[in-house]
Amino acid sequence: MTQVLILFLYFGANAYGWHMLEGTFGASRLFGVIPLSDPYTVLQVLFSGFVLGADVLFGALIITLFYMVVGGRAFCSWVCPINMVTDLAAWLRRKLGLDKEITNYRFVKRKARYWIMALGLIVSAVVGVAAFEVLSPITIMQRGLVFGFGAGVSVVIAIFLFDLFGVRNGWCGHLCPLGATYSLIGQKSLIRVEHDHEACTGCMDCKVVCPENQVLHMINKESIHVTDGECTNCGRCIDVCNDDALRFSIRSFAKKETNQSK
């Protein structure tokens, strides 16, 4: 829902001249004044050897701070338009019974995205152009919806097919360097899913629906927060839980630090 609303605001800015949210995820302006920009895009441009304008740097700082302190990796599940495509693929996968281990071509690891993220910066530096931006399905899809698709739609279809018949949660959960960036940024954010081990009946519905189900390692074991940065705060586990064993809450750092004790 938020994804559709945000895209509609972007679309309206172009088609009707609204000033709520102009631009695209690369860089935008909120209410015509506040600059926002994507941290990974900005990093790529800096690596390509161009010193960006202050607006963009400031915008990237605002976004980074927001997800770092509040949202975690919420960009992925609440804002990103590709997520709607991959969610559809994941849902179809479940319905078509493709979700078994035997039909999951798990040839890439979840850590691959961090390699790709670093690689994108290196390629940006070598070629002298923001490397992920020349093929990013996220911005291709968003620009497609705001300005018109062209042949860019093939990238979106490719991602859909990859997620449906290839690797389960393949793009968002394994490859996307933007998701990797937000995973790193959002590691210490405040809003988190909290698990209540006492209420849990161990049905594991949450693990089936979770796009990053490695983060739910505590289910039916411990009553703690989901603290892994790879959790997108999508809240699907909360919706699907019939036992009220999962909820959003602000994580308490005092408790966490004693638990971790480094």
Partner 1 sequence: MAKNSNNNRRKFMATTLQSVSLTAIGGLLWSGYSDEAKASPLVLRPPGALSEDEFQKACIKCGLCVEACENRDSNKNKDGSKRPGTLKMAKGGDRNMIGTPFFVATDVPCYMCDDIPCVPVCPSEALDIASVSNDKGELDINKARMGLAVVHKESCVAFWGLQCDACYRACPLLDEAISLEYQKNERTGKHAFLLPVVHSDVCTGCGLCEKACITEKPAIFVLPIEHSTGRAGSHYVKGWDDKDQQRVGEAKEIHTKNERSEKAPTDYLNAGGIDFE
Footprint of partner 1 (CB under 8 A): 13-14, 17, 22-24, 26-29, 35, 37, 41-42, 45, 48-50, 52-53, 55-56, 59, 115-116, 119-120, 122-123, 126-131, 133-135, 139-140, 143-144, 146-155
| Among 150, 140, 147, CA closest to 14 | 147
Q: Which is nearer to partner 1, 81 or 211 (CB)?
A: 81
The token duo for 1 is 């829902």
Q: How far is the CB of 24 from partner 1 (least distance, A)?
A: 5
Contact 141, 81 (CB under 8 A): yes
Q: Which two tokens stand for residue 44?
A: 């790529």
Decide whether 154 or 214 has the Cβ nearer to partner 1.
Answer: 154
| Nearest residue (CB) to partner 1, 148 versus 202 | 148
The answer to whether residues 231 and 215 touch, using CB atoms and an 8 Å cutoff, is yes
What's the CA gap between 149 and 39, in Å, rounded?
Answer: 24
- Based on its alpha-carbon atoms, the radius of gyration of the chain, rounded to whole angstroms, reads 19
At 192, list the tokens: 């988190």
CB of residue 115 vs partner 1: minimum separation in angstroms?
Answer: 5
Q: How far is the CB of 182 from partner 1 (least distance, A)?
A: 18
Q: How far is the CB of 200 from partner 1 (least distance, A)?
A: 35
Q: Which is nearer to partner 1, 167 or 209 (CB)?
A: 167
Gap between the Cα atoms of 114 and 107, Å rounded: 16
